[in-house]
Amino acid sequence: MSPAAHELVFDWNSQGLDPPNRHRVSLLDETLRDGLQSASVSDPAIEDKIGLVHLMADLGIDAFAAGMPASGTRAYDDVLRLCREVAQCKLQIRVVAAGRTLARDVAPLIEISQESGLPIEAYLFVGSSPIRQSIENWDVGLLAKQSADAVSMAVRAGLRVAFVTEDTTRSRPEVLRTLFRAALDCGANRICLSDTAGHALPCGIRALADFARGVMEEFGVPVALDWHGHNDRGLALSNALYAASCGIDRIHGTTLGIGERVGNPPIELLLLNLRFMDYALSFGSPHHLVDYCKLAARALNWHIPPNWPVVGSDAFRTASGVHASAVVKSLDRGDLELADYVYSSVPANRFGLRQQIAVGFMSGTSNVSFWLRQRGIEPTQSLVASMLQAAKAGTRVLSEDELMTVVKKCVSG
């Protein structure tokens, strides 16, 4: 924000709070793993997956999940191809691949790492909640042994291991302590706390993070913590940001929040908000954010909602007369920053975008005059009145063609 705009904003977010501990937060992009578990997407072609990985690296995202290679031949081949791309192009991004705590899932991870020459991170998961144990008739002792065997197998092969307890936010502390101990004793270097069913509230995240750190202190094994959330209650983004404030080291997200059921925290909004909150965070050129989201939407056959922050078609577009008037006055001063902030907290210009003013039934003369000037047309009083009359007679924003029809009719008449 420019000094002038900054002086005009009183930030209640900073009032009454102790200075936060801004530890470094890393991001794990799960678009090509959890994102593909959405029942409404298409599995992208490998060329598009490669393009997405390059944009992830350009954005400064620390790591990405390449997939779950044990799930099938295509999955295996795509994970291997992505690993080779990262290695050959020397991309500054870590590769993660997922598997269950089973030898048949760990083996493909080892093979891919050896074939590609890339030290991938193995995210090995096991169901930990009473619900899952009841359904599957699982014994905690068996799960602990299975987890220890799988982690040991991966560590012996030189892989770094993140131990993932599914549905952590609905699991009993004594079970988590047993499973954490089994994984930590065998060399796991990360523990991933998972809100698999989107159950968590901020108070629960704090309690769980404190509990996990307490277990690590109890065992004398300091490892990093991950947060993996889902959006069933509509809290995925706010929960992820709260997890960061609780000292979680790595936060997971997906492009546009795409994922299993109602999805995950949107990684582009994690980037945006963590940056605005002054966390130590890798963030490449913001211009790549729009390209990344658009490529992901096309590759996964996903529609970006018009009201989606930053990349939605309405993110920086207004048809309201009052709002348009304020934006136009800012632009008339030649202050793009002020125009961005007068009715938004996100600066369009930093993403290579600009404020847009549409004309519709809630518009005023400012909307019409600005629209005309943008197209090099003199906004005469009669032309503005005719266009405004046409807009007020409708029930929606008028299209470019509809507005130009009014212009041509007025000019020819």
**Which residues are CB-contacts of 307 (< 8 A; sequence separation ≥ 6)?**
314, 315
Note the pLDDT of residue 19. Answer: 52
Could you tell me if residue 357 is left (phi over 0), alpha (psi between -120 and 50 degrees) or otherwise beta?
beta
Look at residues 97, 59, 116, 83 and name the one whose alpha carbon lies nearest to residue 287.
Answer: 59
Note the pLDDT of residue 249. Answer: 95
Domain range list for the chain:
21-299, 317-412
Dihedral of CA atoms 250, 255, 256, 261 in degrees, nearest 10, equals -80
Task: Assess if CATH 1.10.150.120 describes domain 21-299.
Answer: no
C-alpha gyration radius of the chain? 25
pTM, entire model:
0.93
Give SS3 for 222. coil
Q: What is the pLDDT along the chain (413 residues), one digit of tens a residue?
A: 665 677 888 888 877 555 555 678 999 999 999 999 999 999 999 999 999 999 999 999 999 999 999 999 999 999 999 999 999 999 999 999 999 999 999 999 999 999 999 999 999 999 999 999 999 999 999 999 999 999 999 999 999 999 999 999 999 999 999 999 999 999 999 999 999 999 999 999 999 999 999 999 998 988 999 999 999 999 999 999 999 999 999 999 999 999 999 999 999 999 999 988 888 777 777 889 999 999 999 999 999 999 999 999 999 999 999 999 999 999 888 888 889 999 999 999 989 999 999 999 999 999 999 999 999 999 999 999 999 999 999 999 999 999 999 999 888 76
351 and 367 Cβ atoms separated by less than 8 Å: no
Residue 159: phi and psi, rounded to 5, are -90, 145
Please tell me the distance from the alpha carbon of residue 348 to that of residue 319, in angstroms, as a whole number.
Answer: 17
Look at residues 55, 59, 58 and name the one whose alpha carbon lies nearest to residue 296.
Answer: 55
Please tell me the distance from the alpha carbon of residue 291 to that of residue 279, in angstroms, as a whole number.
Answer: 24
Please tell me the distance from the alpha carbon of residue 272 to that of residue 237, in angstroms, as a whole number.
Answer: 11
Please tell me the distance from the alpha carbon of residue 360 to that of residue 320, in angstroms, as a whole number.
Answer: 8
What sign does the dihedral 89-94-98-104 (CA atoms) show? positive
Note the pLDDT of residue 24. Answer: 86
Look up residue 356 and give its two tokens.
Answer: 């847009």
**Which residues are CB-contacts of 405 (< 8 A; sequence separation ≥ 6)?**
none
